[in-house]
Amino acid sequence: MIHAAVGGQGVALGRLELIGLMLSDRRLAVVTLPQPGPATSNGYWLIRTPASARPEVEEVMRWIVDEAAKVAS
């Protein structure tokens, strides 16, 4: 997954111990949030490109949003 992100094919989550070098040499970049996150030390963000995603990617994103809504309720 990290290699796909390095290749410009999406985003990835990674431990700083494993991706620190790629961040420092700019093969990877930290995504800035458009708004402040929740008041907790834990969090997850679903970030997408402005371009249209493939239908199967849209389906997974909808599923993630639906599951998150169940937990938040």
One-character DSSP codes across 13-45 = ---HHHHHHHHHTTSS-PPPPSS---SSS----
Reported as a single tens digit per residue, the pLDDT across 21-52 is 999 999 998 887 676 656 777 777 787 777 77
- Number of structural domains, the chain? 1
pLDDT at 48: 76
Using 50, 70 and 90 to split pLDDT, how confident is the model at 73? low
Cβ atoms of residues 19 and 4 within 8 Å:
no
Question: Which whole number is the average pLDDT over 4-10?
Answer: 82
* Amino acid at position 67, single letter: E
Which domain range does residue 61 map to? Answer: 2-33+42-72
User: Rounded to an integer, what distance in angstroms lies between the CA atom of residue 14 and that of residue 21?
Assistant: 12
How confident is the prediction for the chain on average, in pLDDT?
81
Q: Is the pTM value of this prediction over 0.75?
A: no
